[in-house]
A and B are shown apart, each in its own frame.
Chain A
Amino acid sequence: MKIKDIMSTNVANISPTASTKEAAHMMHDLHIGVLPVIHDNKLIGMITDRDICCKVIATGRGAGWTKVEEVMTKNVTTCFDDQDVTAASNLMISNHVRRLAVIDHNDTMVGLLSVDDLARNSHDLACCVLEASTQQH
């Protein structure tokens, strides 16, 4: 099974210069917890609801004036859409993440793959990812 067979497509994204307040609004309206950050059609980062909680609100910054690029994760773990799903599971395990950005061989982002997507395909693969997780609860 290939990653492209089970990934989420039509993923919303945000610009690096947008405010984290705008990001929060988008996450709220779209019922999602993560947004890929795209600049010049290239993936340059990811921002999550937890980033906004821990890096903006906990530190006393204002969401209205803090830009997405200031708190996003820049080292995004990616995989290719034509890789096997077991490769995706291994990447999540070794990088302690639950989501991967999926790119094609032109370096364009084409989707997102979450541990939930893996679970719909294989409980074993998904649970290996959960077991390797570092968050307490």
Chain B
Amino acid sequence: MTMKVQEIMSTKVETIKPTSSLRATARALSNLNVGALPVVDDGKLVGIITDRDISVYAIAIGRDPQSTDVQKVMSKEVFTCNENQDIYEAAEIMKLHNIRRLAVLDDAESISGIISIDDLAHVSRELAGTILAHSQAIH
């Protein structure tokens, strides 16, 4: 079975600007019921921010959520795949970097979606299960 990333990814992904505050980003993550948002500047993907970055990392390093920009705490190294890649390759990237989501880019390098381990689970229990079982998080 071969299947492309674009067949199973989430499209219509909301994004956030690098200059948004952590508080505004937290509100967006809450209202959209998502755990991560791509950070986009001038149409280019420049980072990714998660609920954990905002709560755990920002608080631990003593950042004020109202006056701190997303760009100060986001992950700048974003793991991506191309929408035309096979889902097996996407799964390999997740496994290699111990992550559960990838930003998906089109051929123009613009973000076209997000693929998560949940999306993989719907089409291949073997792929998703292997990533989970391999994960390093303690709990």
Contacts and interface: CB of A to CB of B under 8 A. Distances in A.
Contact of B59 (A25, A32, A116): A25
Interface in B46-90: 51-52, 54-60, 65-66
Interface in A69-113: 99, 112
Given A24-B59, A126-B128, A135-B35, A57 B137 contact: no
Contacts of A32: 137-139
A130 B137 contact: no
Contacts of A24: 55-56, 59-60
A21 B60 CA distance: 8
Given A126-B132, A137-B101, A137-B116, A58 B52 contact: no
B133 interface: yes
Contact of B23 (A27, A60, A135): A60
Contacts of B60: 24-25, 28-29
A114 B137 CA distance: 10
A30 B85 CA distance: 35
Contact of B34 (A30, A49, A57, A135): A135
Q: Tell which of B36, B56, B66, B125 has the most Cβ of chain A within 10 Å.
A: B56
14 contacts: A24-B60, A28-B56, A29-B60, A34-B139, A49-B51, A57-B23, A57-B58, A57-B65, A58-B29, A118-B132, A131-B122, A137-B101, A137-B114, A137-B118
Main secondary structure of the interface of A (DSSP, over half): helix
Interface residues of B, number: 43
A112 B128 CA distance: 21
B132 to A, nearest CB: 3
Given A31-B137, A126-B129, A56 B34 contact: no
| 6 interchain residue pairs of minimum CB distance | A123-B129, A119-B132, A52-B55, A58-B26, A130-B121, A28-B60
B32 interface: yes
Given A114-B139, A135-B33, A137-B34, A50 B55 contact: yes
Interface in B16-43: 22-23, 26-27, 29-30, 32-36
A135 B57 CA distance: 22
B112 interface: no
B52 A127 contact: no
